[in-house]
Structure 1
Amino acid sequence: MKAVGVTEFGGPEVLRVLELPIPAAGPSEIRIRVHAAAVNPIDTLVRQGIAFVSDAEPPYVPGMEAAGVVDQVGEGVDTDLEVGDRAMAIAVISGTHGAYAEYLVVPAESVVRAPVGLTDVEAAALPMTGLTARMALDLLDLPAGATIAVTGAAGAVGGFVVQLAKANGFRVIADAAAKDEQTVKDLGGDVVLPRGEEFVELVLREVPGGVDGLVDTAGIAEFVSRAVRDGGRVASSVKGVQVPSDRGIVSRNTFVPQYAREHGKLDGLRQLAEEGRITPRVARTLPADQAAEAHRLREAGGIPGRVVLTF
């Protein structure tokens, strides 16, 4: 099969088109013929040798979310999926086991039907990104009616956070650059405020005493936590971000591999997508052999959605 991966770590130029054996679905696994794979920030860290590098020998194949068709169902799989069904999956990268490949084998719990009405390219931008947003809100563990702030709301994860928060019955105060203000409003932001140093003070004007929770997808939780009430909660999708604990604020980081087998939560995203309550956003589509360019675009930033590779 054709795959895209690295045999040495470095910049986007180290990504290569590789010929690898087609993996077989083992017990409790499903193999997908991949039609599209989204490019995520974690993929660039895999390429650099920073994240998810196993003890296996190279090549290392990035990619944590994909869509295509079920190609093989392993023994002992309890599923209603059959060969030929459209599907989407989250993949935990291990050696050559990443989504930038024509065939991907994952645990059966990591696969659900692709949402009706979405293309393979759109569906590929949902599993890992959507589960990251889902996990962030789960970590907040707030009741319906709570008010939360969302940073990076125009981004791929932040946009899902806004939409899922509204589906959960939260009031959402989000940040946005001027060019993204209408986009964030369309996603469901109740109050959309300018990004930057004034965001905290503007939030506190809207909610004296502070919001109940914060989902930080921009890596600025330490700063923005000043807008969270005493005893509130913070969830960050950016690793290593901490907030001062002197006001009793509980801070947690997402680690989406912990949700890789949360079949019910992944299928819940499918249902919400079919209902039009969450919408994957695709900024660019490129053929798989242009993965290096996809990584350059990803690292340049400012892209309102995912870059997706097609196979």
Structure 2
Amino acid sequence: MLASWYEDQGPAADVLHVGELPDPSPGPGEVRVRVTVSGVNPGDTKKRRGWLGSSMPHPRVIPHSDAAGAIDAVGAGVGARRVGQRVWVHGAQSYRPFGTAAQYTVVPDHQAVPLPDHLSDELGASLGIPGITAHRTVFADGPVDGQLVLVHGVLGGVGSLAAQLAHWAGATVIATVRRTADLDHIDPAVVSHAVALDTGDPAVAIRSYAPRGVDRIIEVALSDNADLDNAVAANNAVIAAYATR
């Protein structure tokens, strides 16, 4: 199969290889997916660079944990009915050496989730790390029905999914974007009110929509937004932070 891999950590141009590797075979309880789209996440590049002193977890790593494709082979204990099924994949390179930057990837059966026909492969490949992260930021400690939820960075992968999940769950979603020009890209069916961080006083703008404060903040840049979050959080609010500098 054609694949990309690295055997040393460092800049992509120095350590990434592209070439032929043996096709993998699924073991017991596993499926093999013919990859059509491989999803790239910040964690993939951080592991490859050796971020925060991390070391090579395996002698050779095929990066990327997320993907979309179709199951073309199954291991013992997995029903043959899964062969041919369109799926989205998560966690392919989480604690495992070979991810989805290849024509084929092998994962445990439950990590290849059926992908409905009306959804694209591109969407499927974005559901793993961003989707699971978004779900945890919204629901980790219970339902959000009736709450005011502030989503920072709502146009990002995690932020956009978190906003949709919160909206579907009955919350009122307030969102921020970095620039005024980005406001045109907000989906008004999901976001009730949006604030650009580059104009005026964002805290005052948010408080105009949430006079008593917001109940939950989905935070992409905790170190940057700590003062803003403090200014708009209601009593007993939750800040669910998934990133910081």
Amino acid at match of 1:10: G
**TM-score with structure 1 length normalisation?**
0.70
Q: 1:95 to 1:202 in 2, by over 3 A?
A: same
Q: Pick one of 222, 239, 242 that aligns with 2:226.
A: 222
Q: Pick one of 207, 210, 222 that aligns with 1:207.
A: 210
Offset of residue 144 of structure 1: 0.5
Matched, 1:193 2:195: yes
Q: 1:215 to 1:81 in 2, by over 3 A?
A: farther
Matched, 1:179 2:181: yes
RMSD: 2.3
Query: 2:106 maps to which residue?
Result: 105
Matched, 1:153 2:158: no
Q: Aligned ranges for residues 52-201 of structure 1 at < 5 Å?
A: 55-57=57-59, 59-77=60-78, 81-93=81-93, 94=95, 96-176=97-177, 177-186=179-188, 188-196=190-198, 198-201=201-204
Offset of residue 80 of structure 1: 8.1
Secondary structure, aligned partner of 1:7: coil
Amino acid at match of 1:180: D
Looking at structure 2, the residues matched to 221 and 76 of structure 1 have their Cα atoms a distance apart, in angstroms, of 49
Higher Cα Rg: structure 1 or 2?
A: 2
Alignment length, in residue pairs?
Answer: 238
Offset of residue 92 of structure 1: 4.3
Deviations 1:11-63 (A, max 9, x none): 23132213322222112111101111011111110220228755421x22211
Looking at structure 1, the residues matched to 49 and 24 of structure 2 have their Cα atoms a distance apart, in angstroms, of 25
Offset of residue 127 of structure 1: 2.5
Matched, 1:236 2:227: no
Secondary structure, aligned partner of 2:226: helix
Looking at structure 1, the residues matched to 80 and 24 of structure 2 have their Cα atoms a distance apart, in angstroms, of 22
Q: 1:49 to 1:32 in 2, by over 3 A?
A: same
Amino acid at match of 2:219: D
Which range is displaced more, 102-111 or 120-129?
Answer: 120-129
Looking at structure 1, the residues matched to 181 and 92 of structure 2 have their Cα atoms a distance apart, in angstroms, of 34
Q: Which residues of structure 2 form unaligned runs of 5+?
A: none
Looking at structure 2, the residues matched to 180 and 189 of structure 1 have their Cα atoms a distance apart, in angstroms, of 13
Looking at structure 1, the residues matched to 26 and 150 of structure 2 have their Cα atoms a distance apart, in angstroms, of 42
Q: Aligned ranges for residues 264-303 of structure 1 at < 5 Å?
A: none
Greater RCO (Cα-Cα under 8 Å, separation 6 or more): 1
Secondary structure, aligned partner of 1:185: coil
Moved over 4 A (4+): 51-54
Query: 1:269 maps to which residue?
Result: none
**TM-score with structure 2 length normalisation?**
0.87
Looking at structure 2, the residues matched to 123 and 143 of structure 1 have their Cα atoms a distance apart, in angstroms, of 25
Looking at structure 1, the residues matched to 166 and 122 of structure 2 have their Cα atoms a distance apart, in angstroms, of 24
Looking at structure 2, the residues matched to 236 and 53 of structure 1 have their Cα atoms a distance apart, in angstroms, of 25
Offset of residue 187 of structure 1: 5.9
Offset of residue 161 of structure 1: 0.9
Identity of aligned pairs, percent? 29
- Do 2:149 and 2:174's aligned partners in 1 also have CA atoms closer than 8 Å? yes
- Do 2:66 and 2:88's aligned partners in 1 also have CA atoms closer than 8 Å? yes
